[in-house]
Chains A and B, each alone.
Chain A
Amino acid sequence: MISPSGEVAMSNSDAYPDDEIRIGVFICHCGGNISDVVDVKRVADEIGSMPDVVRVSGVFPVDAPPTAGTESSIERAVVLSETEMFLCSDPGQARIEKRIKEYNLNRVIVAACSPTLHEMTFRRACARAGLNPYLFQHVNIREQVSWVIEDKEAATQKASRLIRAAVDRARYLEPLDDRKIPIHDAALVIGGGVAGLKCSLDLAQRGIDVTLIEKSDVLGGRMLELGTVFPTDEDARELVGALVKGVQENPKITVILNADLKDSTGSIGDFNTTVVVKKDGGEEDVEVHSGVIVIAVGLDVYEPRDGEYYYGKSPAVIGLLDLQKMLRDNGKLEVNGKPVKSVAFLHCVGSRQWEDVHEPQADGKINDYCSRYCCTAILHSAVEIKERFPDVEVYDFHEDIRTYSRGHEEIYTRSGELKVKFIRFDPHRPPMVQKDRKGEAALTVKCRDRLTFGEDLEVPVDLVVLGTGLVAKDMTTLIDLYRCSRGADRFLLEAHPKLRPVELAAFGLFLAGSVQGPMDITETTAAAAAAASKAAALVSQGIIELDPFIAKVNEDLCTGCKTCLIVCPYDAIQRDDEKEIAVVNEALCTGCGTCVAVCPSNAIQQFGFNDDMVVTEILALLGVETNSRAGVEAEEAIAAV
């Protein structure tokens, strides 16, 4: 039937009935990326001479050795196995299309690079040739074989084994259709800080109706508490004020203040959110219907524990936010009415903690991450103090200086020029703040300086400013409602930081700004703009197509035991109380497969990944012949005696 490596013996496609599984295998040289290591011709030959599989009955062939009368029909046959220099090229794709028609192929396997790169390319090629794109199976023999295995023989064998497994799997592929979900033309933005404001404006500019809900009674968020901000030295309230004005004047944006989330149902394209609004001493529920949701609830500033660096014991120990409030509107630098003559800044307070040095937070974990804004915020304040109060001595106690962003290093340089004094501490022996017993100043900061020879310093100062870090908000309701995942640092996680930034794993939900981790204003607005354009792109499509790899419940097997309801991370399963079975919401299901794995009755299968496919593939990878396992084992067991 086959003559491998490109030559084909049969060309009459009518000779094959449609119900037979007819597989075409295409193996790519990828220039020499693959073929320099993998002997692709030999692989094509080996695959081309794979025996056809005889049909056996039963769910898993293992259970039922072939019985008389059922052996006749061929279950799968590789009718074509050939190689090509660049399959993704136009001629390469054209060849696949031509072969599908010529040989009436109903399964196509391409062994090439990573599916992330070209799976869609080849699916589309299949579709152009009239073949359902999900009857295509991709095998990665570049990233997983030729690029990582030096030994040519081993690489060739692995490539061959992977393709064999795909061939066995391919017979269970089914034609599938993408899910088509209509998107309601409106957005809900949660949180009225700079992120929420920027995002709302961008969405409205693209013609989308926006409802912006804010928990407090005023728009602006954290920036309302700040003075001049780095790196542009602009007034924070003026900056955010301009955005607030823009939002308030925009007819496409509805702002609801004093509003908090209560409930949310629905899924991408059709979210229904219930918001509780405080009004005249009472409360009122408001319903918001939207196609997408952007979460922009920001974060909190670390609150030092009582006594941490003498915080709470002396009014002369304050946080960065307190300093901002002190300095803004031309404020004076004084404690209890007494002018301050010397200031010490301490970096990394509540950030970059160590298990053996710092006490854990309420959830038992330390904050081991860097809060990213504080180094620059500290130096920016240090410069401001030096410029406005040149006689004040400023000391900077740091573990490291991380002024990484554009325009931030200049602030560091400037602080040096202004003679801010830098002292570097060992994170395992952080500085100690005490009452100054000599009475020279309010406090002393004791520290062993790593920039000199390990000198033990005692610096008397009038004011200690703690470079308090940033921590995630308590987002219990939100996480519950939207099934958000959180990182170990408690901030919300994007679906993938590189491939799906600002998106949550569940479709139609986006993250804007510092809710997903410490960010300064520049980064916050960039993230908000990204979220807005992604959300807008989705809404303006009107309909979105989602891949068909979702879970489906088999009514005949489901007992309604609810195990799957408990585990679905996206709340995509409900129980139909009348039928007493589980039902998957197609729009909510992300195809994560969790329920499929846990259902004790095998009552849930996932399209594209059903048990037959997965088991067959694994057995093929292990080199076990699927339809003779039982027999082989019996013989082994007996022969072993």
Chain B
Amino acid sequence: MGDNENSQATEKLKVGMYWAASCGGCDIALLEIGPHLLDLIQIADVVFWPCAADFKYQHVADYPDGYIDVCFFNGAIRTSEQEELARLLRKKSKSLISFGECAIDGGIPSLANLKTVEGIFDASYHNTPSIDNPDGVEPQPITLVEQGELEIPVFYQQVLRLKDIVQVDYEIPGCPPQGDRVWEAIVAVTGGAVPLTNSAVKVACFDKSVCDECPLEKKLEKIKEFKRPHEVRPEPDWCLLEQGIVCMGPATRSGCGALCIKGGLPCRGCYGPSGTVEDQGTAMVSTIASLLDATTEDRAKELIDQIVDPVGTFYRFSMASSHMKTAR
């Protein structure tokens, strides 16, 4: 990391963190590095972090290009504001890192891609029983008021990933990413172990799927019935999927340490697709389909019908990376 070495000797690294379409959990996850937060402050100055400190967009705009060494970007892109900030932060940062599933694969917000904007607006502003909107008002990008024009961000047709907008250097998966892993990644990027620029390389995780870290064993048995986690007490030591509990492990990137499974729950898929897989949902569908204890179509259908909300289950964190794209 040649260009970094000199600057490091003289001045501290500059880091930033931004939230786009996200729940705020990633900001908290950054805090989860715990005592290492003090280490981070030792080596770095925070120059932008809307969640924690009072920086204005104008501050960032005033920075020279490439001023921020490492910028963590969490959240997906749903509005023009988020796109603008993505482009701005790209320009101002040496290394732009997608932090968490929303930025990488769309995350939970991208489940909204299953609906059209019209559908979303209908639900949000018209058809939900608790809504009182007799004039049928919808937010408009530009509203004329006495004092002039009021502008709010434009709501896009679909949720996009950060890498759909700008070039991304690294991706730290997870919803949210695990603290220990995040610290390792920070050390690697800030310490010069890896170059600041790269092409969306995944760090703070492994290439293999969660099954690799999972302590449970397969018996090579096929699925005879699907059950939801609250309906059964799973047999210990036996692969949950084979027991009929939908576990996203086979289609999910590892790095979490199989936390949920060790806690007695199936993997929800929060690290996104593993290896070179793009579309986590289809990967899971093909796995599940091949494990059904069914030799006829009717039986297969009967089993599949037992899975509650398949799309929401298989794409819970990665709809924006699905080949299905968006509702039209």
| Interface, chain A (partner B; CB < 8 A) | 57-60, 62-65, 67, 554, 556-563, 565-567, 594, 597-603, 611, 630-631, 633-634, 636-638, 640-641
B42 CB–A CB distance under 8 Å = no
Given the complex of chains A and B, what is the CA–CA distance between A554 and B208 in angstroms? 10
Contact at A560–B211, with CB atoms within 8 Å?
yes
A559-B209, A641-B157 given; A598·B200 CB < 8 A: no
Contact at A600–B284, with CB atoms within 8 Å?
yes
Known: A559-B211, A559-B212, A594-B290. 12 other contacts (CB 8 A): A64-B199, A558-B208, A559-B208, A560-B211, A561-B211, A561-B249, A561-B250, A597-B286, A600-B284, A633-B325, A638-B154, A638-B156
Given the complex of chains A and B, what is the CA–CA distance between A630 and B42 in angstroms? 38
Given the complex of chains A and B, what is the CA–CA distance between A203 and B210 in angstroms? 52
Contact at B155–A634, with CB atoms within 8 Å?
no
Binding stretch for chain A, among B20-28, B52-60, B178-186, B270-278 = B270-278
Given the complex of chains A and B, what is the CA–CA distance between A58 and B278 in angstroms? 12
* Residue of B157, B164, B165 with most partner-chain A CB within 10 A: B164
For B41-54 the 0/1 string (1 means CB < 8 A from A) is 00000000000000
B80 CB–A CB distance under 8 Å = yes
Q: Sort chain B's interface into a size bin.
A: 35 or more
Contact at A600–B163, with CB atoms within 8 Å?
no
Contact at B325–A563, with CB atoms within 8 Å?
no
- Return B201 CB to nearest CB of chain A, in Å: 9
Contact at B199–A57, with CB atoms within 8 Å?
yes
A62-B278, A64-B199, A556-B207 given; A637·B160 CB < 8 A: yes
- Return B263 CB to nearest CB of chain A, in Å: 20
Contact at B211–A64, with CB atoms within 8 Å?
no
Can you list 9 A-B pairs, Cβ within 8 angstroms, ordered by A? Answer: A58-B200, A65-B163, A559-B212, A560-B211, A563-B250, A567-B290, A600-B251, A630-B163, A641-B156
Contact at A641–B274, with CB atoms within 8 Å?
no
Contact at A563–B287, with CB atoms within 8 Å?
yes
| Interface, chain B (partner A; CB < 8 A) | 80, 83, 141, 154-158, 160, 163-165, 167, 197, 199-200, 207-212, 218, 220, 222, 249-251, 254, 274-278, 283-284, 286-287, 289-291, 325-326
Contact at B165–A600, with CB atoms within 8 Å?
no
The 9 closest A-B pairs by CB, nearest first: A559-B212, A600-B250, A640-B157, A557-B275, A600-B251, A561-B211, A559-B211, A600-B283, A567-B290
Contact at B291–A641, with CB atoms within 8 Å?
no
Given the complex of chains A and B, what is the CA–CA distance between A556 and B158 in angstroms? 34
Given the complex of chains A and B, what is the CA–CA distance between A566 and B289 in angstroms? 11
A600-B274, A601-B275 given; A562·B251 CB < 8 A: no
A64-B167, A562-B220 given; A638·B286 CB < 8 A: no
- Chain A residues with CB under 8 Å of B158's CB are 637
Contact at A602–B211, with CB atoms within 8 Å?
no
- Return B262 CB to nearest CB of chain A, in Å: 16
Q: Closest residue of chain B to A66, judged by CB?
A: B167
A559-B212, A641-B156 given; A67·B199 CB < 8 A: yes
Contact at A638–B222, with CB atoms within 8 Å?
no
Given the complex of chains A and B, what is the CA–CA distance between A611 and B200 in angstroms? 20
From DSSP, what is the main secondary structure of chain B's interface residues? Answer: mixed
Given the complex of chains A and B, what is the CA–CA distance between A361 and B45 in angstroms? 78
CB < 8 Å: which of B154, B163, B287 contacts A598? B287
Q: Closest residue of chain B to A568, judged by CB?
A: B290
CB < 8 Å: which of A57, A560, A597 contacts B212? A560
Contact at A557–B276, with CB atoms within 8 Å?
yes
Q: Closest residue of chain B to A636, judged by CB?
A: B157
- Return A277 CB to nearest CB of chain B, in Å: 31
Given the complex of chains A and B, what is the CA–CA distance between A65 and B157 in angstroms? 21
- Chain B residues with CB under 8 Å of A631's CB are 164
- Chain A residues with CB under 8 Å of B220's CB are 562, 565-566
- Return A633 CB to nearest CB of chain B, in Å: 6
- Return B48 CB to nearest CB of chain A, in Å: 23
Q: Closest residue of chain A to B252, judged by CB?
A: A600
Given the complex of chains A and B, what is the CA–CA distance between A603 and B277 in angstroms? 9
* Residue of B249, B284, B286 with most partner-chain A CB within 10 A: B286
- Chain B residues with CB under 8 Å of A59's CB are 276
- Chain B residues with CB under 8 Å of A554's CB are 275
Q: Closest residue of chain B to A594, judged by CB?
A: B290
- Return A135 CB to nearest CB of chain B, in Å: 23
CB < 8 Å: which of B164, B249, B274 contacts A557? B274
Given the complex of chains A and B, what is the CA–CA distance between A319 and B283 in angstroms? 54
Q: Closest residue of chain B to A556, judged by CB?
A: B207
- Return A234 CB to nearest CB of chain B, in Å: 43
- Chain B residues with CB under 8 Å of A637's CB are 156-158, 160, 326
- Chain B residues with CB under 8 Å of A65's CB are 163, 167
Q: Closest residue of chain A to B254, judged by CB?
A: A559
A557-B276, A600-B287 given; A634·B160 CB < 8 A: yes
- Return B115 CB to nearest CB of chain A, in Å: 14
- Chain A residues with CB under 8 Å of B291's CB are 563, 566
Given the complex of chains A and B, what is the CA–CA distance between A638 and B207 in angstroms? 32
